[in-house]
Structure 1
Amino acid sequence: MGALCGIRIADFSRVLAGPYATMLLADLGAEVVKVERPGSGDETRSWRPPADACGTSTYFLGVNRNKRSVALDLSTGEGRERARELIAGSDVVVENFRPGTMDRLGLGPRELLAADPGLVYCSVTGFGTGAGAALPGYDLLVQAVGGLMSVTGEPDGEPTKTGVALVDVITGLHACLGILAALRHRERTGLGQVVEVSLLGSLLSALANQASGYVAAGVVPGRLGNAHPSIAPYETFETADRPIALAVGNDRQFAALAGLLGRPELADDERFRTNPDRVAHRAALRGVLQERLRTRTADHWADVLPAAGVPAGPVNALDEAFAYAERLGVEAVVEAGGTRQVAHPVRLSATPARYRLAPPALGEHTDAVFSARRDHDA
């Protein structure tokens, strides 16, 4: 039995942030009913390539397991009535429409919480419900205006987005956190509440040290490529065959690195003795290290450096990354209803994640969900 068994979620979200959150909660036992537009469904159903052997978008597959799908046309009175019927038997509502859309449909938080004070209502927006309410919440746009692209990329290159929709993923995690906190509050008081999560707010929080440097010290960072603004060496280097990443976080690790590279004197060099020294003389340090690292392969350094306590590893392609996880005993791939999926990242000893259902076909469970509801009421 999952940790969230007995919790029912009416999921009106689409694309990534909301569906990612509800999938994680479903893996932990929550019953999730995904509400989709008849005929087209979640936009990501048509986002391909890539697709699996059946032609289904892998984007959709990646965030929609353990859910049942119902097709409802919310533009009609019948569709809205069925949505209210679904919500009436649910503990949580998740939606990521433009602010005000659910209110216009009669499915907004004020109306629904008046009918059920114990309901947890989670709204995921791009830019909040104030002056930014009308702005479209696309991940790329938020990465641009939220500052992430300004610190990503080479110093002499253009601002660059991350290789995945990272802001959506972070926002989905924040939505999970808010929903679980609201459910805990309800457990104590019997009362639900509104949970609001925005892409912009989530990104600014996730900028972590970069954001803190600005807020606390007025420092506006720039792009450093793969280097770190506060730690050195903490970046990628060329080897004899492919790049390797070094993540040297303290002076002891640096001394070990210097010794393995055949340059033990570097640890006593006044330019490199401490981390602030190394950051101040980053360019000189990089030149010395790069010269030595180019003499051997990435696999050689990936063997000898970690063995000596120096964090290092090759820059893997995705197939290599999954193989690496398997070698380390980190469960990365599971099956959900015959579909290969990326494993839930949280390991619980008593109530582990379960993979009960494959990602659903559009409207696959409409009749079953509503006939079960009618049987329950009877």
Structure 2
Amino acid sequence: MVENFGPGAIDRMGFPWEKIQEINPRLIYASIKGFGPGPYDDCKVYENVAQCTGGAASTTGQIGGVPTVTGAQIGDSGTGLHLVAGVLAALFQREASGKGQRVTCAMQDSVLNLCRVKLRDQQRLTHGPLTEYPQYPNGEFGDAVPRAGNASGGGQPGWIVKCKGWETDPDAYIYVIAQAQAFSGLAEAIGRADWLDDPEWNTPRARLPKLDEMFEEIEKWTMTKDKMEAMGILNPLNVPCGPILSMGELAQEESLRQTGTVVEVDHPERGKYLTVGNPIKLSDSPAEVERSPLLGEHTEEILTDVVGLDPEGIARAREQGAI
């Protein structure tokens, strides 16, 4: 059983976990809530609230700007994915124990888990400045992990730079990471091979205080290429990079259609529309995405095949207003 009612709703219906265990000891009862036990456990939460209370918004945004929520549904979908993992673990455990169990996921907890690198950086901050953040060495660090714009984490400097056509195309950009292992190829590609013999540039430590200048030079080159052309040049050099793809571009991307990541669904009322397919690819059991059912479309089928009612019983239920 899976539910995401407001806090305490199932208990008020007369079905606390203890009662559910009595009814069916093998049942796995999965719940998503906004917060775990504590001072906020009775608060209502939506996607953006989860991002704000889970640490995502405070660490996302431009330097000196306001906290920013991401367009990815890390609170809703992210918590759902965590819950699936918990349910699968409970199902596996039931094979050994014969017992079901309660599985709970709080949206705040799930967002924080997805922000665990930032929590790691919070611990590092107590030992000195975070040298891969753009605030180093000329900016200031406070008591908490700061917002860092589009800087790459993990000690690998990265930034979004303009490409040809950026003046009229809001997505004419590419993300480039100046990974140490691929820096020589990157420097040569952008016409700055001189950096490779210059002690002011040829080590990661030497480049750290000059990341702004480095990406300005990279951007001078990318502005002469469209984003796909830039990727085509940098990718064979093992330079990590990725074009900024709009939703319009993704909807038309043929490779995503072929893999079933983007699928077209035909609905009797809505007509044909695009939706995201299953991002998980299984070799022996591929998923087929079908349209959502109409309201009441399968009522009689479920009452017959699952509940076991005969046509007379269904008719009586309709007369009584149960259906």
Q: Which TM-score applies when normalising by structure 1? A: 0.68
Contact map agreement 1:322 1:332 (CA 8 A) in 2: no
Q: How does 1:225-236 map to 2 (within 5 A)?
A: 225-236=149-160
Give 2:180's aligned amino acid.
Answer: D
What is the aligned counterpart of 2:120 among 212, 216, 238? 212
Contact map agreement 1:98 1:133 (CA 8 A) in 2: no
Shift in alpha-carbon separation, 1:307–1:146, aligned structure 2, 3 A: same
2:76 corresponds to 1:142? no
Q: How does 1:288-299 map to 2 (within 5 A)?
A: 288-299=217-228
Give 2:280's aligned amino acid.
Answer: V
Q: How does 1:153-232 map to 2 (within 5 A)?
A: 153-215=61-123, 218=126, 220-232=144-156
Give 2:293's aligned amino acid.
Answer: P
Give 1:289's aligned amino acid.
Answer: I
2:195 corresponds to 1:266? yes
Contact map agreement 2:256 2:262 (CA 8 A) in 1: no
Write the distance in 2 (CA, Å) between the matches of 1:320 and 1:245. 14
Contact map agreement 2:163 2:174 (CA 8 A) in 1: no
* Shift, 1:322, TM fit: 3.5
What is the aligned counterpart of 1:309 among 235, 238, 244? 238
For residue 136 of structure 1, give the secondary structure of its aligned residue in structure 2. Answer: coil
Write the distance in 2 (CA, Å) between the matches of 1:208 and 1:245. 26
Q: Deviations over 1:121-173 (max 9, x none)?
A: 10100012432221111111121222211221211322211124321111011
Contact map agreement 1:233 1:278 (CA 8 A) in 2: no
Write the distance in 2 (CA, Å) between the matches of 1:277 and 1:323. 42
Give 2:285's aligned amino acid.
Answer: T
* Shift, 1:215, TM fit: 4.2
Give the equivalent residue in structure 1 for 2:7.
99
2:252 corresponds to 1:344? no
* Aligned CA-pair RMSD: 2.7
* Shift, 1:301, TM fit: 1.0
Contact map agreement 2:125 2:145 (CA 8 A) in 1: no
Write the distance in 2 (CA, Å) between the matches of 1:162 and 1:171. 15
Write the distance in 1 (CA, Å) between the matches of 2:3 and 2:256. 39
Structure 1: where are the runs of 5+ without partners? 1-92
* Shift, 1:368, TM fit: 3.0
Report percent identity of matched pairs.
29
Contact map agreement 2:161 2:176 (CA 8 A) in 1: no
2:191 corresponds to 1:257? no
For residue 220 of structure 1, give the secondary structure of its aligned residue in structure 2. Answer: coil
| 229-238 or 109-118, larger mean C-alpha shift | 229-238
* Shift, 1:346, TM fit: 0.6
Contact map agreement 1:233 1:246 (CA 8 A) in 2: no
* Shift, 1:231, TM fit: 3.7
Write the distance in 1 (CA, Å) between the matches of 2:238 and 2:176. 11
What is the aligned counterpart of 1:121 among 20, 29, 34? 29
Q: Deviations over 1:191-215 (max 9, x none)?
A: 1100010100001100031122224
Q: Which TM-score applies when normalising by structure 2? A: 0.79
Give the equivalent residue in structure 2 for 1:375.
308
For residue 308 of structure 2, give the secondary structure of its aligned residue in structure 1. Answer: helix
What is the aligned counterpart of 2:261 among 318, 324, 332? 332
Write the distance in 2 (CA, Å) between the matches of 1:111 and 1:268. 73
Larger relative contact order (CA 8 Å, sep ≥ 6): 1
Contact map agreement 2:177 2:240 (CA 8 A) in 1: yes
Q: Deviations over 1:96-126 (max 9, x none)?
A: 1122110111233221121111111101000
Higher Cα Rg, which structure? 2
2:227 corresponds to 1:282? no
Give the equivalent residue in structure 2 for 1:61.
none
Contact map agreement 1:174 1:202 (CA 8 A) in 2: yes
* Shift, 1:312, TM fit: 2.3
